[in-house]
Amino acid sequence: MILRRSVDIASVEGLEGLSLGRLATELKLSKSGVFSLFGSMEELQLATVRAAITVFLEHVVVPARRTPVGAARLHGLCERWLAYSRDRVFPGGCFFYSVSAEFDARPGPVRDTVAAAQVNWRTFVEQTAEEARVAGELRPDTDIPQLVFELIAFMETANGESMLSGDTAVYGRASTAILARLHTVVTDPSLLPDAP
C-alpha cells in the first residue's frame, strides 16, 4: 500500500516529492511505522523504484513474453509500452521517464538503480529485436541498436508530449511511426499489420 502510493506520487512529483511523513498522513499510518519499514529517504526512494519496476514488468514485459518470438512480439512490446503510458498505469505517465530526468545528473544509489532499470529495458527491447532477426523475421543487416533507439524515442516522445499537452493523439502518431519503422526491416510485410 505504501509503495503503490509512493510510485504514484513519484511519477508526478519526482522521487524528491516523497516523504515518510506525507505517506503516513495520506495513508493514516504512524510516521514511526513507515520509518521503520524504510529507515531513510534514500531507502524509500530505492524501494519506490523497485516497486515501479515490478509494475512495469507486469504491464509491459510479461505480456510481451507470452507472444511468440518474432516481429509481432517486437511490435506488441512497443504497443504495450504505449498503452502503459497512455492508460496512466502511473498518473505521471511513464515512471522511468519522469525519474530519469530528475536523477540523470545526480550520482548515487538511486540514480544507479534508475539507470540500471533503463539499461535493462533497452537491453530487453534489443534482445526482442535480435530474436526476431535470428528467427528470420528482420533483415539480417538490421542495425538493432539503432532500431531500438528509434523505437524507444517514439515511445518516450509520445509520453512526454501527452503529459505536457494532454494530447493523447500523440500515441496514435507514435504507433504509426513505430509500425512504419518496423516495416522497413521486416523480411515479410505480412508479419505486421498494415496500420495500427
Domains in the chain: boundaries: 52-191
Q: DSSP state, 45?
A: H
Mind listing the pLDDT tens digit of every residue in the chain (196 residues)? 889 999 999 999 999 988 888 888 888 888 787 778 888 889 999 999 999 999 999 999 999 999 999 999 999 999 999 999 999 999 999 999 989 988 888 999 999 999 999 999 999 999 999 999 999 999 999 999 999 999 999 999 999 999 999 999 999 999 999 999 999 999 999 999 988 8
DSSP per residue over 76-119, as a string?
A: HHHHHHHHHHHTTSSTTS-HHHHHHHHHTT--SHHHHHHHHHHH
CA atoms of 11 and 17, how far apart (whole Å): 9
Q: Please tell me the pTM assigned to this model.
A: 0.91
CA–CA separation, 175 and 123 (whole Å): 21
Show the cell assigned to 178.
513505430
Check: CB of residue 10 under 8 Å from CB of residue 52.
Answer: yes
What are the distances in angstroms from CA 74 to CA 139, 144, 160, 168? 14, 12, 22, 22
CB 155 within 8 A of CB 63: no
Q: What is the dotted CATH code of the domain comprising 52-191?
A: 1.10.357.10
